């Protein structure tokens, strides 16, 4: 990426429920990329937050005997707390109940009306509260929404529709030209497929007496703004679209805008959102990175199946860094896959306590026992493997293949462990002949230079561990990095 400045966003999460592993996955990807690009000298703004309007939240609050705002405050706080527990450092946390966001959404609605991008239409359809969207009869499975396994409700009302159809061709062109990049390939294909289906204009408002919990349409007190339109606008309201033009210019117009999201919400992001931006005459995001979903032991993660994993519970067992590792080392983000929690402990012990932890303590123990001067240059074989590892790692990270990049680092860790075992470096420590002394110095140098590289490359994934390795090297100390479980 050429741009020196990047805006990285995650979806804003619904607060009808607590954060789960799925939310943690996306937000961690954003954290890793933010840290990586910052280390490469880029200026990054990392935006996340919570999506707090809509019938889903209103009904959850009602069932818990709370006001919607109380539920929003409680659960939004839980998202913040979870990100803190996972060492996720965002720059701004937007809540759609923030006054500034509400004002921006209303301002944008007035703009769309002025530009004649909205029109009134009587609408009749089936509405799934879980999706917060209309659903077609043909997409139902046994009369139920296939995602939420609940029957939709019949809705008939007058709404303000957005003229999506007139923008489909323009968006298709921008995508094909690569002006709006959609990564990876499956997401690009799906988007182009959606555009080909000739999506219809969509309704951007709902009857207030039915939804109750939403931002009022500024020119029609009976209507509230559709929660998806409200939510998408967060990406520009958070950086000052309405009242801080300088900041908006900096982080939207003069920055590489990268949206990260799961494939469940592709249509809203790769078709609806670009169309809204076009209507507003605002630049499109530069890229949208779509990741796959994970299942838990082969099943969809859901409250009904009682298989929802709370990332905070994992942190209690594996610690902040252990949990980050376990989540990020499951599968390539493009693919998604099945999470096998029963294998977490084994993986933690094998990869972190043994491979990484032992390498660091073995090398530092040997080095500290004998004060040797470290060669500045590694031997030829190490030079080659270090160069290759870094090259592959950078290439992968630039393509957001963070799982594969993390694997490259662990390949280097394995290489070092094997070297140490094969060379039996510890046997040279008490030998006084020149060959042994030189051998020890060479081997320890190779390993220490590798540790420096490992700590740099692992930083975006395990920031505290990286700093800890640095501190141990500097202070000539040895402490276990990961407690065996
Ligand atoms: N509020 C909307 C997004 C509005 S963005 C303008 C929403 N919220 S959500 O709480 O349902 O979060 C959906 C996102 O959570 C997914 O796009 C994905 O990023 C993440 N995930 C939720 N479940 C997941 C998995 N099982 N696996 C991977 N990611 C998952 O949709």
Among candidate residues 80, 145, 320, 455, the one labeled active-site is 145
- Side-chain-side CA neighbours of residue 329 (13 Å): 22
Q: How many CB atoms lie within 10 A of CB 219?
A: 13
Residue 210 predicted with pLDDT over 90: no
Q: Separation of 20 CA from ligand 1 center, angstroms?
A: 10
Give 72-78's long-range contacts (Cβ < 8 A, gap of 24+): 72/15, 72/97, 75/15, 75/16, 75/17, 75/18, 75/50, 76/15, 76/50, 76/52, 78/18, 78/19
Catalytic residue among 18, 62, 113, 148: 148
What are the pLDDT digits (tens) for 296-333?
988 888 777 788 999 999 999 999 999 999 999 999 99
Distances (CA, A) of 77 to 18, 29, 93, 215: 10, 21, 10, 21
Mean of the per-residue pLDDT values of the chain: 95
Which is the catalytic residue, given 128, 259, 267, 442?
Answer: 128
Which one-letter DSSP state was computed for residue 374? Answer: P
Token match 């990095």: residue? 481
Predicted pLDDT at 471: 97
String of DSSP letters for 312-347: HHHHHHHHHHHHHHHHHTSS-TTT-EEE-GGGHHHH
Q: Taking the CB of residue 205, how many other CB atoms lie within 10 A of it?
A: 26
Q: Give the model confidence (pLDDT) of 31-86 as tens digits.
A: 999 999 999 999 999 999 999 999 989 999 999 999 999 999 999 999 999 999 99
pLDDT value at 257 more than 90: yes
What residues form DSSP beta bridges with 155?
125
369 a catalytic residue: no
Atom 10 in ligand 1: which residue has the minimum CA distance?
13
- For residue 357, the CA-to-ligand 1 centroid distance in Å is 34
Choose between 390 and 371: higher pLDDT.
Answer: 390
Please spell the DSSP secondary structure of 76-94, one letter per residue: HHHHHHHHHHTT---SEEE
- Does residue 123 register a pLDDT over 90? no
Q: Which of 13, 131, 148, 309 to mutate to test ligand 1, by most ligand atoms within 8 A of the CB atom?
A: 13
Sign of CA dihedral 84, 86, 90, 94: negative
Res 345 pLDDT > 80: yes
Q: Which of 259, 389, 261, 406 is nearest to 327 (CA)?
A: 406
Ligand 1: centre distance to CA 264 (Å): 7
Q: Hey, is 391 helix, strand or coil?
A: helix
Instruction: Say which residues have a Cβ less than 8 Å from residue 202's Cβ, sequence separation at least 6.
Output: 161, 162, 164, 272
Q: Which residue has the tokens 């408002």?
A: 205
Based on the residue annotation, tell me whether 20 is a catalytic residue of this protein.
Answer: yes
Residue 130, pLDDT above cutoff 90:
no
- Band the pLDDT of 138: cuts 50, 70, 90: confident
pLDDT at 124: 86
List residues near ligand 1 (CB under 6 A).
11-14, 22-23, 25-26, 51, 231-232, 234, 261-262, 264-265, 293-294, 301
């Amino acid at each position: 990426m050429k741009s020196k400045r990047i805006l990285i966003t995650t979806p804003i999460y619904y607060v009808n429920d607590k954060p789960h592993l799925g939310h943690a996955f996306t937000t961690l990807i954003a954290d890793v990329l933010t840290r990586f690009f910052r280390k490469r000298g880029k200026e990054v703004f990392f935006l996340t937050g919570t999506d707090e309007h809509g019938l889903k939240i209103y009904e959850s609050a009602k069932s818990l005997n709370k006001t919607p705002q109380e539920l929003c405050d409680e659960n939004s706080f839980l998202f913040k707390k979870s990100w803190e527990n996972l060492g996720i450092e965002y720059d701004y946390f937007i809540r759609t109940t923030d006054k500034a966001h509400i004002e921006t959404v209303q301002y944008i609605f007035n703009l769309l009306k002025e530009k004649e991008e909205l029109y009134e239409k009587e609408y009749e359809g089936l509405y799934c509260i879980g999706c917060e969207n209309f659903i077609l009869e043909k997409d139902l499975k046994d009369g139920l929404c296939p995602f939420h396994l609940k029957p939709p409700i019949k809705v008939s009302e007058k709404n303000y529709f957005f003229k999506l159809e007139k923008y489909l061709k323009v968006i298709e062109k921008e995508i094909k030209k690569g002006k709006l990049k959609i990564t990876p390939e499956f997401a690009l294909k799906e988007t182009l497929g959606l555009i080909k289906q000739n999506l219809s204009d969509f309704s951007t408002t709902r009857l207030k007496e039915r939804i109750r919990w939403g931002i009022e349409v500024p020119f029609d007190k009976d209507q509230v703004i559709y929660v998806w339109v409200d939510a998408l606008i967060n990406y520009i309201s958070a950086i000052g679209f309405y009242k801080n033009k300088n900041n908006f210019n900096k982080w939207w117009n003069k920055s590489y805008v990268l949206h990260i999201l799961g494939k469940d919400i592709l249509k809203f992001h790769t078709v609806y959102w670009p169309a809204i931006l076009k209507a507003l005459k605002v630049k499109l995001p530069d890229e949208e990175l779509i990741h796959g979903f994970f299942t838990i032991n082969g099943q969809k993660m859901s409250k009904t199946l009682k298989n929802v994993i709370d990332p905070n519970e994992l942190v209690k067992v594996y610690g902040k860094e252990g949990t980050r590792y376990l989540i990020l080392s499951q599968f390539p983000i493009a693919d998604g896959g099945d999470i096998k929690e029963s294998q977490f402990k084994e993986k933690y012990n094998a990869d972190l306590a043994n491979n990484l932890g032992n390498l660091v303590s073995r090398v530092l123990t040997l080095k500290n026992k004998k004060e040797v001067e470290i060669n500045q240059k590694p031997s030829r074989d190490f030079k080659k493997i270090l160069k290759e590892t870094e090259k592959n790692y950078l290439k992968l990270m630039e393509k957001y293949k963070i799982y594969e990049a993390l694997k490259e680092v662990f390949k280097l860790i394995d290489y070092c462990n094997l070297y140490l075992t094969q060379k039996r470096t510890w046997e040279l420590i008490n030998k006084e002949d020149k060959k042994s002394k030189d051998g020890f110095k060479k081997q320890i140098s190779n390993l220490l230079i590798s540790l420096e590289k490992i700590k740099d490359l692992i930083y975006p994934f395990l920031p505290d561990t990286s700093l800890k390795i640095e501190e141990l090297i500097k202070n000539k100390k040895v402490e276990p990095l990961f407690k065996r479980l």
